Amino acid sequence: MAHLYRLSTRRQHLIVSHRRHLMKMCQRTLTPLLLTLTTVSTVNYAGNLGHRSDVLDYAVGGGPVISLPAREEHLKTVSLGLGWEVNLQCGLLNPQLTVKNQLNGITEGYQQMMGSVIESATGAVAALPGYLIQKEEPGLYDMLTNGVLQGKFDFDNGLTSCESFTEEMGELTSNNAYYDMAKAELWSGEVKKGDAVAAKKNVLSDMGNNGIAWLGGSRAGGRGQPPINPVEDGAKMGFVLLTEGQSEDKDHPVGLYRFWHSPEELGEWVAQVVGSQTIQTGTDQSQTRSTAGIGLSPDVADLSQIRLDELLDAVSRNQGSAHFPAPLVEALNEQKASNYQLTRIASELALAHAIEKALLARRALLTGQQEVYIAQNQPAKEDITKAVSLLEKEIDVLRYEAQARQSISSLSATQTMRRYDKTRSHQLPEAQEASSVFLTPQPSHASSQ
């Protein structure tokens, strides 16, 4: 009997082990299949919802949690080209050539200064060349030579002092950095000629009128050139880069084309929101201007009116529109929504669109900041970074204002309605607050019975 019991027990263990093995095999085989079927059924179910999902999409803000990207394709890499060589190689200056030009009178120096001193002497002395003076009057020649050297020293000392004061004063002006860029670019071309004196003379006499290399390698900021507008020009270039290879579809606009039709429109909009400044590097400052920004609030107000007109038209026709789905319009008509409610819905949607618009403009500025010539201009990059920071602050101001208004207004109105309902029915109804889907939900103020 004991032997038969052991055989029966062993058989049961084998059966249990075999069943476990089969279950593991089934899990390995069926789990991916079940996941696939679950995914397919979910997609089919979502597709069968049809128009009923529109209400849910609107309730959560319409579409994905973050805004759609302004561009999905990678941007092409552009080389800087040969027109920009700001890395100064002062070793290219040839001291032998500099001294040779000084002695031969090619550049202002020894002979010019000597001639000026001789002309200031008496008529008899002025008629003699320098070597005759040395031969006939060695003492007079030594005096003249010392005068030339002293005059040259005083001139260089005065020039150095002037340059030092210019740098100190330039720190107080906003366009001094661009003027320094213009001088650096001119220096980069002059040092290749080898003559230090001629190079410095040309840079000083130019006074920034040659401008700087700007968008696409064109010159800007100098005399007879368009002014430099870092913020507006950066936004325009960002629009060009982000829409490269794309065409505007007026029926179904995407990306930046949802809000702007051209680089000029985007540049003007950014300048209107955060302000802009035109800069010139030369002596001609007739086009130097500064425009103050007015923020995003006016844009929200304009969008609110546009969305309200669209919503009123949709409600009157009892049909959906581009921004308001048919189920929402039907619900508003069924509940006989007041003008206040319609205005609030349109305003919330306008706020969301204004923030999305500002985020797209922010992306355009950051993209334009990497344009090959702007990327090499540190002052321009800093100006664009400031504009991006101002745009982000404007977005935060809108969010803060909307949240503050909601918390204050909802608190007073909610408490008033609850006191009224409690007095009338002696029972506080369990109702959830209806807060804006675009704002941070407020904590419930329900009190205990």
Domain ranges of the chain: 90-220, 229-278+296-412
Whether pLDDT at 55 is above 70: no
Whether pLDDT at 199 is above 70: yes
Provide the 3-class DSSP secondary structure of residue 359.
helix
Provide the 3-class DSSP secondary structure of residue 278.
strand
Tokens representing 405 are 């208004």
To the question of pTM greater than 0.75 for the whole model, the response is no
Whether pLDDT at 7 is above 50: no
Kindly state the percentage of the chain with pLDDT values over 90: 20
Please check whether residue 39 is in contact with residue 45, taking contact to mean a CB–CB distance below 8 angstroms.
Answer: no
Where is mean pLDDT largest: 12-26, 156-170, 305-319?
A: 305-319
121/235: higher pLDDT: 235
Where is mean pLDDT largest: 108-122, 132-146, 337-351, 435-449?
A: 337-351
Instruction: Round to whole Å and give the CA distance between 388 and 4.
Output: 86
Least confident interval from 18-22, 120-124, 355-359, 445-449: 445-449
Residues in the chain: 449
239/207: higher pLDDT: 239
Average confidence (pLDDT) over 378-395: 94
Whether pLDDT at 390 is above 70: yes
What pLDDT shows up at residue 130?
A: 64
CA distances to 118, 434, 438 from 312, in Å = 92, 21, 21
Average confidence (pLDDT) over 420-436: 55
Please check whether residue 442 is in contact with residue 448, taking contact to mean a CB–CB distance below 8 angstroms.
Answer: no
What pLDDT shows up at residue 33?
A: 34
Residue 126's pLDDT band (cuts 50, 70, 90) = low
Please check whether residue 326 is in contact with residue 51, taking contact to mean a CB–CB distance below 8 angstroms.
Answer: yes
Least confident interval from 214-228, 284-298, 380-394, 412-426: 412-426
Residue 424's pLDDT band (cuts 50, 70, 90) = low
What pLDDT shows up at residue 65?
A: 34
Element counts in the chain: helices (H) and strands (E): 15, 4
Provide the 3-class DSSP secondary structure of residue 157.
helix
Instruction: Round to whole Å and give the CA distance between 304 and 307.
Output: 5
Residue 208's pLDDT band (cuts 50, 70, 90) = confident
Average confidence (pLDDT) over 37-51: 35
Least confident interval from 20-34, 211-225, 256-270, 307-321: 20-34
Average confidence (pLDDT) over 217-232: 91
Helix or strand run (H / E) with residue 415: helix 378-425
Please check whether residue 94 is in contact with residue 192, taking contact to mean a CB–CB distance below 8 angstroms.
Answer: no
Tokens representing 58 are 């609107």
Please check whether residue 199 is in contact with residue 191, taking contact to mean a CB–CB distance below 8 angstroms.
Answer: yes
Tokens representing 316 are 């009157």
Average pLDDT over all residues of the chain: 70
Tokens representing 50 are 């049809």
Phi/psi of residue 190, nearest 5 degrees: -75, -35
C-beta atoms surrounding 331 within 10 Å: 12
